Amino acid sequence: MAASSAAVCVLTPNGRRQTVKVSPNTPLLQVLEDVCKKHGFNPDEHGLK
């Protein structure tokens, strides 16, 4: 059985797009934290919509 994976594209507050690989079990909060960490943002001050 092959693992299913996908990617989501997040538009950051500075106008950049960040593609994040996700699995069916990846929480959205983890996606937010990963993108914020990479771009130097505080995840508590941002959200996904």
Provide the 10 A C-beta neighbour count for residue 36. 19
Given pLDDT bands bounded at 50, 70 and 90, which one contains residue 4? Answer: low
CB 7 within 8 A of CB 22: yes
Q: What is the pLDDT of residues 6-23, one digit of tens each?
A: 999 999 999 999 999 999
CB 35 within 8 A of CB 22: no
Tokens of 41: 């943002």
Break the chain into its structural domains and give their ranges. 6-45
User: Which position has the token pair 């929480």?
Assistant: 27
- What CATH number labels 6-45? 3.10.20.90
Angstrom distance (rounded) from CA 23 to CA 44: 23
Tokens of 35: 């993108």
